[in-house]
Amino acid sequence: MKLLRFGPKGSERPGLLDGEGCIRDLSGVVSDIDARTLADLQRLRVPPVDSLPIVSPDVRIGAPVAGVGKIVCVGLNYSDHARETGQAIPREPILFLKASSSIVGPNDDVILPPGAKKGDWEVELGIVIAREARYVPLANAMEYVAGACVVNDVSERSYQLERGGQWDKGKGCDTFCPLGPYLVTLDEIPRLDDLRMWCTVNGRTVQDGNTRTMIFDVPYLVHYISQFMSLQPGDVISTGTPPGVGMGMKPPQWLEEQDLMELGIEGLGTQRQRVVRYTAEACS
């Protein structure tokens, strides 16, 4: 299934994408795509899809999961990305947190905060947790996964690397986590470890990678992270980015107002964000 949420910000309704590419309204079946629904995905297989109301194709798409408790990110998890940054291959996953308040829909504007000067893009494979995961054995790790989605781990590198402390400062700004368009369940993804992923800025391809260059794969990340914190239904693991980020270019390339980012992952859909500068109106 390709699950999604649609409607105005703060009033999204649950839906799914049918085989013809039409959005179907699921609000008569579940109240939302949230922790309760993720823990019992079988409930969504009961009604015939063609009996569900069709939604206008022009509707806004929101983040595919409601009530995300935390976003756990993995740094330098692609061997080719680590090389482009000039850093050594990590011996263990590098973890940091991205604020849940940074989540927006896949096509919403990305807002550069006051003083931002080194905005950057990162297409990433997101993993959504289905049930509480604590000290998970590696062999059972995928039993805790509801599905996958596209994440843009937008970053402000000056905040991240030049303001002291940990990476979180440059990662958690409002709108810095476009999520979706879909939460795709695992039955529709033959292999998480061989998915093409890409990002363009103003039509120019900047990232063109594949999940096969991940250093630590999805089962290992679920297992590893659960040794340090419990993962709850609806939590998202953002698993790292391939090469081609603006920071790695020579000279570096940073996001500017009115830039257009388009990105996607094979089988998981695409995103499209316009970059704007912070104003009170932009954040309303």
Q: What is the CATH number of the domain that holds 222?
A: 3.90.850.10
Cα–Cα distance between 279 and 284 in angstroms, integer? 9
Question: Would residue 55 count as lying in a domain?
Answer: no
Task: Confirm whether 10 is domain-assigned.
Answer: no
The torsion angles phi and psi of 157, rounded to 5 degrees, stand at -65, -30
Q: Which helix (H) or strand (E) holds 224?
A: helix 218-225
**Reported pTM:** 0.95
User: Does the pLDDT value for residue 82 go beyond 80?
Assistant: no
Q: How confident is the model at residue 283 (pLDDT cuts 50, 70, 90)?
A: low
Task: Say if 39 falls within a structural domain.
Answer: no
Q: Which domain holds residue 239?
A: 66-277
SS3 49: helix
The answer, yes or no, to whether residue 91 has pLDDT greater than 70, is yes
Long-range contacts formed by 16-22: CB under 8 A, 24+ apart: 16/44, 16/49, 16/52, 17/182, 18/49, 18/50, 18/52, 19/49, 22/54, 22/55, 22/57
* CA 97 to chain CA mean position, Å: 13
Residue 61 maps to a domain: no
DSSP 259: -
59 within domain boundaries: no
pLDDT band per the 50, 70, 90 thresholds, residue 142: very high
Asked, for residue 20, whether it belongs to a domain, the answer is: no
Question: Mean of the pLDDT values across residues 68-75?
Answer: 97
- Report yes or no: 219 and 127 within 8 Å, Cβ to Cβ: no
Which of 241, 252, 266, 63 lies closest to 154, judged by CA?
A: 241
Determine the pLDDT at residue 53: 96
Is the Cα torsion angle 249, 252, 253, 254 positive or negative in sign? Answer: positive
Query: Is the distance from CB of 116 to CB of 246 less than 8 angstroms?
Result: no
Amino acid 282: pLDDT: 63
Helix (H) or strand (E) holding 129: strand 123-129
Rounded percentage of the chain residues whose pLDDT exceeds 70: 98
Give me the mean pLDDT over the 200-224 stretch.
97
- Write the pLDDT tens digit of every residue in 157-182: 999 887 877 778 889 999 999 999 99
Q: Is residue 58 part of a domain?
A: no
Q: Which residues contact 201 (CB under 8 A, 6 or more apart)?
A: 121, 246, 253, 255, 259, 260, 261
Q: Which of 265, 143, 260, 142 is nearest to 204 (CA)?
A: 260
The count of domains in the chain is 1
| Residue where the block lists tokens 């953002």 | 238
Cα 12 to Cα 15, 33, 53: the distances in Å are 9, 10, 15
The pLDDT of residue 33 is above 90: yes
Q: What is the reported pLDDT for 137?
A: 98
111 lies in some domain:
yes
pLDDT at residue 46, rounded to an integer: 63
